[in-house]
Amino acid sequence: MSVPQPWLEPVARLMDAGGGVLVILAGVAVLVFTLGVERFWFYQLSWRPARQDLVRRWAARREHHSWSARTLRHVRAQTLMARLAKPLPWLKLLVALCPLLGLLGTVTGMISVFDSLALNDTGQARAMADGVARATLPTLTGMAIAVVGLLFISRLEHVIRREDQRLHDRLTRALEHRSRENNDA
C-alpha cells in the first residue's frame, strides 16, 4: 500500500495490522478521551463558579421555606447537576460500542483470513496464525478503550454524586448562616 503523505503512515500501518475497524475505534477513543478531558476542564473552570453563584442567589432570597422556594431550589440544583452530567449518556454509549466494534473487526478479519486461505489453497499454519493474530487486534483494542472509558464513567459518576451532596449541603449551610445573621441583628 503506497502512502502519499508521511503523516498518514501510522494510519496505513494501523489499517494494515487490524483493518478499517481499528481506525473507527481510534476515532471512538478520541471521542471518549475528549469527553473525559472536557469534563475535567468543565469541573475545574466552570462548575465551581456556577455552584457558588447558585448558593449566593439562594442565600440572597428573602423567603426559603415555601413550596415554591423549595421547588425553585430543587429545579436550579437539578439544572446545575444536569450540566455536570451532560456527556455521561454519550460516554456510556461510546464505551458500550467499543467491544462491539472490536468484535466486528475480529469477525471481518477472520472472514478475510479464511477467504485468503481458501483462495490460496494452502494449509499453512503460520499464515493462519498471523491472520488470526491480526483479526483479534480489534477486539483487544475495543476492550482496552472500553476499560479506560469505564474508568472515566465511574469517576464522573462519583464526582456527580459527591457534588450533588456538596451542593445541597452548601445551600442548607447558606440558609443556616443567613438565619444566624438575622437572629444576631
Integer Cα distance of 126 and 119 in angstroms: 16
Grid coordinates standing for 114? 479464511
The count of domains in the chain is 1
**Nearest to 22, CA basis, from 33, 31, 11, 36:** 11
What is the mean pLDDT of the segment spanning 155-167? 94
Q: Looking at the domain assignment, is residue 82 inside a domain?
A: yes
Pure H helices in the chain: 9-18, 20-42, 48-60, 67-85, 88-120, 125-184
Q: What is the pLDDT of residue 178?
A: 67
**Residue 139 domain boundaries:** 20-36+77-185
Question: Is 70 exceeded by the pLDDT of residue 2?
Answer: no
Integer Cα distance of 25 and 153 in angstroms: 18
Q: What is the pLDDT of residue 117?
A: 74
Q: Looking at the domain assignment, is residue 167 inside a domain?
A: yes
